């Protein structure tokens, strides 16, 4: 579903799409519209007058075709996917997507490993360990906002993994109030550079590896917006039916 401001007087909506789409039909505000396919990977929809009358129009894109796994839609430049500059890699057929939001921007933590959300989605730091072969090893959550013992437990959990183990993390709600220097140092040994101490309700998403230098991980953090980090295909699902490259709206004269 796309939420768009379409011209009330009518016009054209052009969608440029990518495989594995075989056919697309479009409905605007519940009404299916006529479309044509002038070339491969493009669908043009005629919007009659007085169909797009809502302040924000609901455009349903209905895709037909056989799906492919999300890991098939992107390929690494080399044999495997690099995990930032940590020196660790993921197999070409694997992917990790991390999404995080603080309390005021969504309050969630998702860690997708090969399309499966394996995060516990609890307050604080949600962490997962992944083998160099792309297999899930463990998942845990540490409430470094409200639990005095959580920072020490987080550091101990991180210390158990051998060098080269891939570690992904996402903050939900809040993680700063009881975050200790010990916990920050343990995260830094996985290539993380962000220190959330003093950053109330920030989101933080990362993918790093045990033994990396601080700053080597793939990571983002922000107070005002949800954040994401990815290694491999940036898709938070197991299968893909297609993708949109661009949407163009033309108003009738």
Domains along the chain with CATH numbers: 2-68+239-251 (2.60.40), 76-231 (no CATH)
pLDDT for 253 equals 81
pLDDT at residue 20 tops 80? no
Answer yes or no: is pLDDT of 19 > 80: no
| pLDDT at residue 160 tops 80 | yes
pLDDT per position as a tens digit, 200-225: 999 999 999 999 999 999 999 999 99
- Whether the pLDDT of residue 193 is over 80: the answer is yes
* pTM assigned to the model: 0.84
> Residue for token digits 């993380």?
192
Q: According to the model, what pLDDT value does residue 242 have? A: 82
CA distance 135 to 115: 12
What is the pLDDT at residue 197? 98
**pLDDT of res. 90:** 97
Name, of 75-84, 134-143, 232-241, the range with top average pLDDT: 134-143
Give pLDDT, residue 181: 98
Tell me: pLDDT of 38 over 90: no
For the chain, the average pLDDT equals 95
């Amino acid at each position: 579903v796309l939420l768009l401001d379409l011209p009330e007087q009518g016009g054209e909506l052009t969608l440029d799409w990518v495989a594995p789409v075989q056919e697309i039909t479009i409905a605007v505000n519940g009404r299916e519209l006529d479309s044509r396919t002038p070339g491969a990977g493009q669908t043009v929809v005629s919007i009659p007058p007085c169909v797009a009358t809502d302040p924000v129009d609901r455009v349903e894109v209905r895709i037909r075709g056989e799906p492919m796994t999300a890991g098939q839609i992107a390929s690494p430049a080399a044999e495997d996917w690099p995990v930032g500059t940590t020196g660790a890699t993921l197999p070409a057929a694997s992917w990790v997507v991390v999404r995080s939001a603080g309390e005021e921007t969504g309050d969630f933590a998702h860690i997708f490993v090969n399309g499966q959300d394996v995060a516990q989605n609890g307050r604080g730091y949600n962490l997962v360990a992944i083998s160099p072969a792309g297999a899930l090893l463990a998942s845990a959550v540490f409430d470094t906002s409200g639990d005095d013992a959580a920072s020490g437990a987080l550091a101990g959990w991180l210390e158990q993994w051998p060098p080269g183990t891939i570690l992904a993390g996402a903050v939900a709600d809040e993680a700063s109030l009881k975050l200790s220097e010990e916990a920050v140092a343990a995260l830094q040994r996985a290539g993380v550079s962000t220190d959330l101490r003093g950053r109330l309700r920030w989101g933080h998403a990362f993918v790093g590896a045990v033994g990396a230098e601080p700053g080597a991980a793939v990571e983002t953090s922000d107070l005002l917006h949800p954040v994401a980090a990815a290694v491999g295909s940036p898709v938070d699902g197991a299968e893909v039916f297609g993708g949109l490259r661009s949407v163009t709206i033309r108003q009738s004269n």
